[in-house]
Amino acid sequence: MTTKRILSLMLIMLLCVVSTWAQVRAGQTKDINITVGGANRFMKVHFPPNLKDNAPLVISMHGVNQSAEYQMNNTNWNNLADQNGFIVVFPQGEGLWWDVSGDKDVNFVKYIINYMSKNYKINKNRVYATGFSLGAMMTYHLITKTAGTFAAYGPVSGVCFDNRKITASRHVPLIHHHGSADDVFKFGGDPGHMAGGYPSITEYVTKWAAWNGCDTSKPVVKKIGGDTKTIWTNREEGIQTVYNVINGAGHWHSDSQWGGINTTNELWAFFKRYSLDNDISFAMSRIVPTSGSTLSEDQTFTVAFSEYIYSKGVSAKLVGNGQTIELANTTNSDKSRSLKLSMPEGASLSTGEYKLNIENVELVEDGRKGAITIDYTAEVVDAISAPKAANEKVSTYSLSGVKDSSAKGIVIVKGNNGPAKKIIK
């Protein structure tokens, strides 16, 4: 075999490897047909690379006379799914239309969720609905019909144009996007619409915020580039209604390239905070002691969070080995991403298992409340009695290795004046 031929074969093999790697990295999209109510229904499904069980699911619905493929190509959901490990379904309406008043497409969407659960083991507590234009109206229709099925909803550039009553079986996390220059679902409203009419989009979303139990008298308003984000919060239930106005945008799904609001990114950032089981821990992906944190001379734990919390109301205690040790919350600021929890004077731990119970945790972003438990294994090494001199360090505690609320970590090292030993469990 000639050198030239060998090099050609090597190049072909290399291209095959690169091609395969790219496919894995980019995920995979499948066309799936299912039978619902005797009718053949179609959907495009995008799977992220290295799909794991219990993945979240986003259902993204197209506008009138559009298609599943059109919705997929104009929303950038696939890239976000690849980066964050969730599945996206793009269902297709019969005749490129949605049944926004009856149950036909409600049943279609419910069937999709059960199909994806059975075949791909999705997390049914983390299913989210969004849609554009008529798909947005379908999203609002789903709220009234399936509030207990989806963890959060995200309509884009559409409302119910028939002046229907707002109702649902529960208050729901809701994020609405709309362009200020939209002339299809008109930003200023269309009270004379032949189907019954609708008010301005601002009034429409504000009514939903009020229905969701939010205090509409004191919204938080933020400027993002030239766009505007309005946030209303129901602090009792820890949910929000968010209203993003894309300045100057018409009737389209906006992915800003100029530092403003990116619709798809905003939708996912909002969705991922919510689960039907309201488990606060999934929103705090890093409930761990900070790297290098110590419990030494001042006997203080430092615990970090992925999101800001109201730190002053938090209480904590260590429980284990027949001990219950109340920790003092010595955090300086009212809002923080870390807590300082101090051991009382004279307290000491012994070898064994401990739970650090942190209670009354409240997220600043949405008011959600919960309690967190972090497990530790404590081991005492070279235990000694009281120090012989004021400057003698009796004990040094090192924290590391805790990745989530179910993991084990290192806790204690004791010694004399020499360097502290670190014990990894």
Domains recognised in the chain with CATH numbers: 24-278 (3.40.50.1820), 283-414 (2.60.40.1220)
Residue type, 304: A
**Taking 90 as the threshold, does the pLDDT of residue 33 lie above it?**
yes
Cα–Cα distance list, 215 to 168, 209, 308 (Å): 18, 8, 21
Of the two residues 256 and 290, the one the predictor is more confident about is 256
Q: What is the pLDDT of residue 390?
A: 36
Cα–Cα distance list, 101 to 39, 162, 336 (Å): 19, 10, 46
Residue 25 phi, psi (nearest 5): -65, -30
Neighbours of 414 (CB within 10 A): 19
d(CA 276, CA 29): 27
Q: What percent of the chain lies above the pLDDT cut of 70? A: 76
Q: Residue 262 has what DSSP assignment?
A: B
d(CA 143, CA 271): 15
Please, which pLDDT band fits residue 298 given cuts at 50, 70 and 90?
A: low
CB within 8 Å of 119: residues ≥ 6 apart? none
Find out whether 43 and 34 touch, Cβ atoms under 8 Å. yes
**Taking 80 as the threshold, does the pLDDT of residue 129 lie above it?**
yes
Closest among 164, 168, 165 to 148, alpha carbons compared:
168
CA dihedral 11, 17, 18, 21 (to 10 degrees): 180
Compute CA 203 distance to the chain's CA centroid, rounded to the nearest angstrom: 27
Per-residue tokens: 199: 């008010």
Closest among 118, 94, 120, 96 to 107, alpha carbons compared:
94
**Taking 60 as the threshold, does the pLDDT of residue 425 lie above it?**
no
d(CA 142, CA 390): 68
Closest among 359, 345, 400, 396 to 377, alpha carbons compared:
400
Neighbours of 288 (CB within 10 A): 22
Q: Is 19 exposed, middle or buried (0-12, 13-18, 19+ CB in 10 A)?
A: exposed
Question: Model confidence over 189-212: pLDDT tens digits?
Answer: 999 999 999 999 999 999 999 999
Residue type, 362: E
Question: Model confidence over 93-126: pLDDT tens digits?
Answer: 999 999 999 999 999 999 999 999 999 999 999 9
Cα–Cα distance list, 283 to 239, 305, 355 (Å): 13, 10, 21
d(CA 377, CA 370): 24
Q: What is the pLDDT of residue 212?
A: 95
**Taking 70 as the threshold, does the pLDDT of residue 13 lie above it?**
no
